[in-house]
């Protein structure tokens, strides 16, 4: 998925020359080694690789949750690396959606208010038609008045997905979004995420260790030692498992 194959405007997220290291001298770890990567719009991409290969660092830098040492990260036509703290906060609120393993819902408010929270924080009203489309696609209509503890894990994660989709962000980042769900519920959430790319044009980038989860993506990017070392299109559990095994050799 190099940025040479499509015009730059076709990419939701583009990064060039991304480097990030932790520690100093003998404890120095190069978590990202000059990574160039571009994520086409309306695609579902999974990032995989052995433990310590730099997946989370890459995702956190792309999402503006961590700062790279050098490079460019273009989202919605703006370079994240040049934004001040306030601009970055606005960018994360408006252009970026998040779905975490631990759902991260506010326990004291109901599902509807959780879904609307990013817009409420930005002082914006919601587009009712889009809200209805999202909650119907995610099967949440009869759960809106429930608080998170009154919902199953899968329902809570669907609320988190709805919250991420509601601002129509440039990109939704998922960090092991089905890591806390049983396999059937996880499959349900992943197919809804895939539907959002196909039917709503959403771009999704997900870090996962699970070949079954990755098989829902359009593309798998493979990382090793802080670099992207391969790509699998139309992945299946078998091709992902084989690719991961060959990375471990
Ligand atoms: N805060 C930190 N301080 C020091 N080193 C770190 C820190 N965060 C990550 N690293 C190191 O950077 C490298 C990449 O870590 P990262 O968490 O991005 O890998 P990962 O592929 O997401 O791993 P995992 O699959 O285990 O979650 C690893 O060697 C890790 O030990």
For the chain, domain boundaries: 8-248
Q: Where are the alpha helices (DSSP H) in 19-127?
A: 55-62, 85-95, 111-121
User: What's residue 101's pLDDT?
Assistant: 87
Percent helix, percent strand, percent coil in the chain, to nearest 5? 40, 25, 35
For the chain, which ranges sit under pLDDT 50?
A: 2-3
Task: Give per-residue pLDDT as tens, 126-148.
Answer: 889 999 988 988 889 999 999 99
CA–CA dist 59, 65 (Å, integer): 8
User: What pLDDT score was predicted for residue 3?
Assistant: 45
Report the CATH architecture of 8-248.
3-Layer(aba) Sandwich (3.40)
List the residue whose alpha carbon is closest to atom 25 of ligand 1: 51
Q: How far is the CA of 197 from the centre of ligand 1 (A)?
A: 29
The residue whose CA has the least distance to atom 28 of ligand 1 is 52
* Residues 193-219 pLDDT 10s: 999 999 889 999 999 999 999 999 999
> pTM for the complete prediction?
0.92
Bridge partner residues of 172 (DSSP): 97, 204
Q: How far is CA 225 from the centre of its chain?
A: 21
pLDDT at residue 4 in the model: 52
Distance 27 CA to ligand 1 centre (A): 13
């Amino acid at each position: 998925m190099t940025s040479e194959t499509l015009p730059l405007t076709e990419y939701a997220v583009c990064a060039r020359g991304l480097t990030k290291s932790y520690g100093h001298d003998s404890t120095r770890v190069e978590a990202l080694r000059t990574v160039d990567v571009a994520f086409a719009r309306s695609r579902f991409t999974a990032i995989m690789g052995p433990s310590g290969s730099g997946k989370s660092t890459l995702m956190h830098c792309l999402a503006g949750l961590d700062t790279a040492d050098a490079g460019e990260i273009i989202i919605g036509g703006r370079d994240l690396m040049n934004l001040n703290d306030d601009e970055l906060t606005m960018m994360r609120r408006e252009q970026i959606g998040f779905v975490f393993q631990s759902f991260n819902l506010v326990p004291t408010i109901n599902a509807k208010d959780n879904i609307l929270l990013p817009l409420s924080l930005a002082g914006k009203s919601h587009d009712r038609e889009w809200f209805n489309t999202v909650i119907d696609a995610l099967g949440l209509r009869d759960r809106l008045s429930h608080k998170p503890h009154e919902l199953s894990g899968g329902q809570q994660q669907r609320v988190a997905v709805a919250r991420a989709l509601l601002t129509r962000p440039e990109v939704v980042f998922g960090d092991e979004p089905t890591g806390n769900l049983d396999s059937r519920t996880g499959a349900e959430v992943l197919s809804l995420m895939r539907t959002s790319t196909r039917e709503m044009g959403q771009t999704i980038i997900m870090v996962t260790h699970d070949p079954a989860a990755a098989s829902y993506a359009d593309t798998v990017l493979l990382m090793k030692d802080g670099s992207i070392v391969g790509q699998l299109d139309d992945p299946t559990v078998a091709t992902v498992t084989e690719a991961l095994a060959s990375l471990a050799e």
